[in-house]
Structure 1
Amino acid sequence: MRMASLARLSGTHRHLLAVALCALAAAAVYPVRKLLEPVNTAMLLLLVVAFVAARLGRAQAIVASFVSVALFDFFFVPPQLSFAVSDVKYLVTFVVMLLVSLLVGQLTNSLQASADDARRRERRSNALYALARGLAGAMTVGQVVEQVTAFLRDEADSEVRFHIPDDDDRLQPAGPAASAAETLAANGIYLSSGGPAGRCVALDGVGLLLALDGATRCRGVLAVQPRGGSDRLDTLRPMLEAVASLAAIALERLHFVAVAQASQLETEAERLRSSILSSISHDIRTPLTVLFGLADSLTLAEGPLSEDEREAAQSIRDQAGRLHEMVDKLLDMARLQAGKVRLRKEWQALDEIIGAAIALLGDALREHPVTVAQPPELPLVAVDAVLMERVFCNLFENAAKYATPGTPIAVELACEGPMLVVTVRDRGPGFPPGSVARIFSLFERGQPESTTAGVGLGLTICRAIVEAHGGWIAASNLADGGACVRFALPRNDPPAIEPEAAAGEGT
């Protein structure tokens, strides 16, 4: 009879089977009793006890021990077929035989239990290995949930539910809706920042809740409810913690795969967009130059042009110039993003660069005077003067476009630690709500439907230039109205300036 068949027998049936095995052994030995010494018969009956202990269990082994002693006394000890004892020495034999039977049964049963436990552990380890291998190949969160649920259903006879955070970082049950108590407990574990004691909680009616802690953050909560009740939770807890760890690793791997794929797609899209912009800008630049030149010639020509025709030629020239400027910005942005711009750093005074930018803009700042506040001893910074001039031009031009006419543009220079911080403020409407976080993105405009000219490249170019210099740039709205852009440049250690030689004495 196989072990699986014996395990399905009830306790009474196993007891009866133990008695039957002892009786069968006695019946087999009884015909040859005269050829065997009593001690040989006792050994054969002890063998039956050991078999019963190994196959049927401890309680059945105890029953078999007493039954074997009784059968030995009744069939093999004179007077036979009677429980009477003719010699007192057989009483000692019975006692020793009973004790040995009980001891053999106990040891055999313990050995069998250890062997069964080892096989059970081996089977569970193999199952965990198979689960880990399956989770390593999982491509979606649904596959992780499916594999873990199937494993715990087979190995722990438990109901399983995952609570996975959505895009808004709110836990959502993967599968049937959870009870209010389970949802509340799962959210508490997910949001808790406590130690390991707070990451695994057993609740009546809910089961065991385990945090799916990854290397960087919690990836969800696993709820396990054994079908036989919560009494088995302490026994199952080590395995459940191992399963939760494997599930957390799989979920974190899927998260990083998704992040890597999104980053790769974004990089490829950015590269393709920059390539297209560069190509189109080069193709447009030549005809724009021709158009601007022809319009300029018409404007300056002393021919028989009417006033309206001359104004039209002037308008064509102005619009061609503005379009030419946009194309230049596109080309600059494409070169910056492609990393093809080499910085020609020299030690410069920022106030001089600011003055050059103001002079370059000219009439564009006619209604917006620029005020500059700086410390008495402004340190030099190592920058590319041409590119930094472009940064100030873009910031001043943006401020002039949106600020109220007649209001000044304030520039403040200050040293903050190892950085030289530049702040540019205006008195315009400020950045629209919700746009500050993305205001430096490519083609991003504060007001998408604004009538103000522009394509959303100025601040993007500023960010690229400042970051190429090792600095940072940020935007915000002022409490009393207006927009504020701050950027910082590394100060480093400027070269020492040798003092001029003093004039010779007595000359």
Structure 2
Amino acid sequence: MLNPISPTPAVSAHTLGPALRYVLAALACGLTTVLTMPLHDWLEPVNAVMLFLLTVVMTATWLGRGPAVMASFLSVGLFDFFYVPPRFSFAVSDIQYLLTFMVMLTVALLIGHLTNAMRQRAEEAQQAAQRSEALHQLARQLAGALTVDQVIADVETFLTQQLQAKLRLWLPDEHEQLHLACGHTSQVSYLLRLADSITRGPERAHRMADENGHHLLLPLIGSTRRRGVMAVTVDSGTALTQHAGLLEGLASLATTALERLHFVDVAYRSELAVHNERLRNSILSALSHDIRTPLTSLVGMAETLAMQPETRTGVAHDLAEDLRDQALRLHRMVNNLLDMARLQSRQQQGGLPLKREWQPIEEVIGASIQLLGSALAGHPIRTHLPADLPLVQLDAVLMERVFGNLLENAIKYAPAHAAIDIHVQSQDDLLHVYVHNEGDGFPPDRLTSVFELFERGHPESAVPGMGLGLAIARLIVDAHGGQIEAINPPEGGATVHFHLPLGTPPEIEPEAEVRA
């Protein structure tokens, strides 16, 4: 816990009432007179003046400015009454004593003023040192804070103990909207509006006063963004002016602590996400590898069963073909799982390795259509390829996988016997590819999320799938330096568009003519 400021050395000036302090000043002057009266016969008047001035200095040191002023006048009067002839009267026989009185009063007032000022400076220095030590102690506590609530509690305790001030703290949410995290909720609407303007305006503090006190609003400016706004409320506006530097230092410490907790949370979440991703990829890879072998055997047995003479016709033949088709579909799913795990693992190890070669895109498209084979039955593929398409530097094997996944996805959601269109064009140093079907289109609120792992356009759809095809396509396109997106064109249907950088293809020398 933070330690409050201890009382200042001038105990009487802060703990005694005003009347008692003046009484003590009068008693001090009287005591000086009583102690010096027996020494009157051999004590010079100038030495008596020094003793009275010493009394004024002590009064200013221990009792403050007002009692010191009273002691100055009282010392002059007592000196006149008891030491200046004729004694025991205020009459002055020698006019020179008037000059003595004036000099004595001036010196007493001046000494009292300087002594009181010195005392105040000493008190302020001690308070500053104590607050500085408390601020260092707060810094050590905030450095070990584990939660935002702990940071708020430490700052609030510091303000209460050191300045008797109240704290209001607004912190932003994930949408950058300020919410009150600490402080009274009543009568803060205007402060919230001012705090919101501070977060959006120049980086400076704001002061204001109302019937509830004097407020100082300080923005908590972090290294990357603003972490909130701190409002300090005190009863006196002078306190805000005197402790402006202290409050700015406190705001800086709070900002550092909040930002540290934010980055710790980000690092923890990132580490947890990487750990989960690695674990998921390991599980997917292990399962896919273990399932692949029995699936391959199942496909082979289904094809063998369908070719047997006794099952070439009839219900047994249809069942054998259905078994083979379902086994092939499950085999493709397992391949997708295994490929996704492998691609993500390579990406986490420093990037997806690509075997780039300059290829004509029409050959890549043709190879993809040929690999799909019977899966395209009932859905004609219409390609729209300009004759002057340039070469593209890409990994042909991976890009064939992109086209294969996009075509399979288009077939799943296209009406029966509907055509699938592939449009290719070059524009602005980019090769644009559009794969379009005539289905119902993507849900408008899932145009981005369909490319996430295990995400589907229609989560509850009866169409088979695991949500891997588009995720694999995006991973490969990103590795080639391109971008991919889902579009619902105005004419209807669904379109997946991606583009690849063209670069500068090598020049192809024309073949020499062969003469007969």
Give the Cα separation in 1 of the matches to 2:193 and 2:431.
45
Judging changes above 3 Å, is the alpha-carbon distance between structure 1 residues 2 and 383 closer, same or farther for their aligned structure 2 residues?
closer
Give the equivalent residue in structure 2 for 1:209.
Answer: 217
Give the equivalent residue in structure 2 for 1:425.
Answer: 436
Shift of residue 225, structure 1, vs aligned partner: 2.4
| Contact 1:346 1:384 (C-alpha < 8 Å) held by counterparts | yes
Give the Cα separation in 1 of the matches to 2:209 and 2:222.
23
User: RMSD between aligned alpha carbons?
Assistant: 2.5
Q: What is the identity, as a one-letter code, of the residue corresponding to 1:481?
A: G
Does residue 385 of structure 2 align to residue 412 of structure 1? no
Does residue 59 of structure 2 align to residue 48 of structure 1? no
Partner of 2:40, secondary structure, is helix
Give the equivalent residue in structure 2 for 1:76.
Answer: 83
Give the Cα separation in 1 of the matches to 2:183 and 2:431.
57
1:21 to 23, 28, 31: 28
Give the Cα separation in 1 of the matches to 2:414 and 2:109.
100
Does residue 351 of structure 2 align to residue 344 of structure 1? no
Give the Cα separation in 2 of the matches to 1:471 and 1:281.
29
Give the equivalent residue in structure 1 for 2:5.
Answer: none
1:148-177 residue CA offsets vs partner (Å, 9 max, x unmatched) = 111111122122222233455443323565
Give the equivalent residue in structure 1 for 2:229.
Answer: 221
Partner of 1:439, secondary structure, is helix
Shift of residue 394, structure 1, vs aligned partner: 0.6
1:236-282 residue CA offsets vs partner (Å, 9 max, x unmatched) = 44433332232222222212211211111111111100000000111
Does residue 3 of structure 2 align to residue 3 of structure 1? no
Partner of 1:222, secondary structure, is strand
Q: What is the identity, as a one-letter code, of the residue corresponding to 1:171?
A: L
Q: What is the identity, as a one-letter code, of the residue corresponding to 1:469?
A: H
Give the equivalent residue in structure 2 for 1:185.
Answer: 191
2:402 to 383, 386, 391: 391
Judging changes above 3 Å, is the alpha-carbon distance between structure 1 residues 290 and 20 closer, same or farther for their aligned structure 2 residues?
same
1:307 to 311, 314, 317: 314
Judging changes above 3 Å, is the alpha-carbon distance between structure 1 residues 476 and 211 closer, same or farther for their aligned structure 2 residues?
farther
1:66-121 residue CA offsets vs partner (Å, 9 max, x unmatched) = 11111222222222222222222222111111111111111112222222221122
Give the Cα separation in 2 of the matches to 1:356 and 1:184.
67
2:302 to 267, 291, 295: 295
1:493 to 481, 504, 512: 504
Give the Cα separation in 1 of the matches to 2:25 and 2:386.
101
Give the Cα separation in 2 of the matches to 1:440 and 1:450.
17
| Contact 2:305 2:311 (C-alpha < 8 Å) held by counterparts | no
1:344-380 residue CA offsets vs partner (Å, 9 max, x unmatched) = 1111122221222123223433444444445554332
Aligned residue pairs total 502
Shift of residue 391, structure 1, vs aligned partner: 0.3
Higher mean C-alpha deviation, range 9-18 or range 410-419: 410-419
Give the Cα separation in 2 of the matches to 1:253 and 1:320.
53
Give the equivalent residue in structure 2 for 1:273.
Answer: 280
Give the equivalent residue in structure 2 for 1:468.
Answer: 479
2:153 to 146, 151, 154: 146
Judging changes above 3 Å, is the alpha-carbon distance between structure 1 residues 445 and 161 closer, same or farther for their aligned structure 2 residues?
same
Does residue 117 of structure 2 align to residue 117 of structure 1? no
2:246 to 212, 230, 239: 239
1:435-482 residue CA offsets vs partner (Å, 9 max, x unmatched) = 223211111111122111211110111111112222222223223432
Give the equivalent residue in structure 1 for 2:4.
Answer: none
Shift of residue 12, structure 1, vs aligned partner: 2.2
Q: What is the identity, as a one-letter code, of the residue corresponding to 1:88?
A: I
Q: What is the identity, as a one-letter code, of the residue corresponding to 2:233?
A: Q
Judging changes above 3 Å, is the alpha-carbon distance between structure 1 residues 17 and 395 closer, same or farther for their aligned structure 2 residues?
same
| Contact 1:186 1:221 (C-alpha < 8 Å) held by counterparts | no
Give the Cα separation in 1 of the matches to 2:151 and 2:263.
15
Give the Cα separation in 2 of the matches to 1:80 and 1:258.
85
Partner of 1:151, secondary structure, is helix
Give the Cα separation in 1 of the matches to 2:320 and 2:385.
44
2:453 to 442, 446, 451: 442
Partner of 2:53, secondary structure, is helix
Give the Cα separation in 1 of the matches to 2:250 and 2:477.
48
Partner of 1:430, secondary structure, is coil
Shift of residue 304, structure 1, vs aligned partner: 6.2
Partner of 2:217, secondary structure, is strand
In the alignment, structure 2 segments of 5+ residues that lack a partner are: 1-7
Higher mean C-alpha deviation, range 494-503 or range 308-317: 494-503
Give the equivalent residue in structure 1 for 2:266.
Answer: 259
Judging changes above 3 Å, is the alpha-carbon distance between structure 1 residues 129 and 176 closer, same or farther for their aligned structure 2 residues?
closer
2:112 to 97, 105, 129: 105
Q: What is the identity, as a one-letter code, of the residue corresponding to 1:69?
A: V
| Contact 1:222 1:244 (C-alpha < 8 Å) held by counterparts | yes
Matched ranges for 1:317-396 at <5 A:
317-339=324-346, 342-374=353-385, 377-396=388-407
Give the equivalent residue in structure 1 for 2:489.
Answer: 478
| Contact 1:209 1:224 (C-alpha < 8 Å) held by counterparts | yes
1:25-82 residue CA offsets vs partner (Å, 9 max, x unmatched) = 2222222233322222211211111122222222222111111111222222222222
| Contact 2:384 2:424 (C-alpha < 8 Å) held by counterparts | yes
| Contact 2:141 2:154 (C-alpha < 8 Å) held by counterparts | yes
Q: What is the identity, as a one-letter code, of the residue corresponding to 1:212?
A: L
Judging changes above 3 Å, is the alpha-carbon distance between structure 1 residues 405 and 314 closer, same or farther for their aligned structure 2 residues?
closer
Identity, % of aligned pairs?
A: 48
Q: What is the identity, as a one-letter code, of the residue corresponding to 1:379?
A: P
Give the Cα separation in 2 of the matches to 1:317 and 1:146.
67
Judging changes above 3 Å, is the alpha-carbon distance between structure 1 residues 493 and 239 closer, same or farther for their aligned structure 2 residues?
same
Give the Cα separation in 2 of the matches to 1:18 and 1:287.
105
TM-score by length of 2: 0.90
Give the Cα separation in 1 of the matches to 2:365 and 2:311.
44
| Contact 1:171 1:187 (C-alpha < 8 Å) held by counterparts | no
Give the equivalent residue in structure 1 for 2:412.
Answer: 401
Give the Cα separation in 1 of the matches to 2:206 and 2:268.
33
